[in-house]
A and B are shown apart, each in its own frame.
Chain A
């Protein structure tokens, strides 16, 4: 079973969010990277881009497939992982650490309570067929 850290929030589209004050760090889960396989391309938004909860903020591609990235929360992108487009395989190696994608400043922090917690996300991926 995939690693699901208890201190993160999750989306049904397999992104994670780590809320730190008014900011949230965002990436994709261990389960997501495992399903994708070798990640070979990551496209991230520019700093300053406004993102809306459950709208796409970027793209991740594996050898076989193209997947949209969905923002778990609404806000403005204040930081992006500039290393990732150069080293996309980091997403496979360390999805919750060096494989982070963006940091947003939340404009509607209340949304975080609507995200899945670790237990709920574990149920979701268990049901996804394992």
Chain B
């Protein structure tokens, strides 16, 4: 998470709000972002038990419009965008011809012939080149800078957003969106998230972000709302075994071994990476991304080796302490024959093997509102 194009760190429209609130700021993907406010564990628990507010305006948004928009999305993304209805959202992946991952994203069908791709902050420039070079004929627009993105996540999120919205958000189903005003701010109200909780992601004009932020913090006070930094965002997604680009997936990993085969739809027709992934599927993957927990009180970390009887069998891609389970949990690629739930092997921590076991994931049950 360090290698980036040089130059000053970028700032979201809420940067001043974070600094004034006393957040600890860190560089992330080329952005100066809040890593924590009150503390990662406290913020994490606030999201699981009440509601948390996240500034994720660093993420990128590209719109593609016109008669060729769907065809462009289809050739770039692994998932099948054809069945996507207006108002619907889909998780998808961009692949290299060799099957490695360019990025993972959410695809929004904004209108009959207009889509939006929400991409990872650290990949905005790379993705923009990728989509415009491979589908130059489509009408692309990079709206990242003018778009702010706030996530409201947790069991109290629905009630809070509904109180401030001028439209019915309760009936917006999981992976669908609606449009309306929230605290007077025009928003795309998307029932999506990266936490495993029910909640919304609100796409709003950049200049309106501080107003919406303050309105949500104010109205959410009786709910126990807390601002949430990237630290808790990471532990929340880890408890769900959601992949993070740059940690768990990248150019050297393919969607099948990452457990993302469910968003690869070769039957839809040609897309970049299709042939390579089909060959992989026929051959079978040699390693799999699994979720594991530490048997003792130890914390696995990105890059630690996985060992079986002293021999290297894989690598940790994400690891931390689970505030809910109160133990070390992680994700990692392990040899396919050691990937079944219940398999045990060691994580090498400071030179010593520490026992870990593959567990069912998500680590913590998801409470996202499935329709």
Contacts and interface: CB of A to CB of B under 8 A. Distances in A.
28 contacts: A37-B24, A37-B36, A37-B39, A37-B40, A37-B231, A38-B39, A38-B41, A38-B42, A38-B321, A38-B323, A40-B41, A40-B299, A40-B321, A41-B297, A41-B298, A41-B299, A41-B321, A41-B328, A61-B321, A63-B41, A63-B235, A63-B320, A63-B321, A64-B35, A64-B231, A64-B320, A66-B301, A85-B297
Q: Which of A37, A62, A63, A64 has the most CB of B within 10 A?
A: A63
A63 B323 contact: yes
Contact of B40 (A38, A41, A59, A61): A38
A66 B299 CA distance: 9
Given A38-B42, A40-B299, 10 more contacts: A37-B24, A37-B39, A38-B39, A38-B40, A38-B41, A61-B321, A62-B40, A63-B323, A64-B40, A66-B301
A47 B331 CA distance: 35
B19 to A, nearest CB: 13
Contacts of B297: 41, 85
Interface size bracket, A side: 10 to 19
Interface of B: 24, 35-36, 39-42, 231, 235, 297-299, 301, 320-321, 323, 328, 350
Contacts, number: 37
A41 B39 CA distance: 16
A99 to B, nearest CB: 16
Nearest to B35: A64
Interface string A42-67: 00000000000000000101111010
A61 B323 CA distance: 14
A54 to B, nearest CB: 19
Contacts of B231: 37, 63-64
A41 B35 CA distance: 20
A96 to B, nearest CB: 19
A59 to B, nearest CB: 7
A40 B40 CA distance: 11
Nearest to A86: B297
A41 B40 CA distance: 15
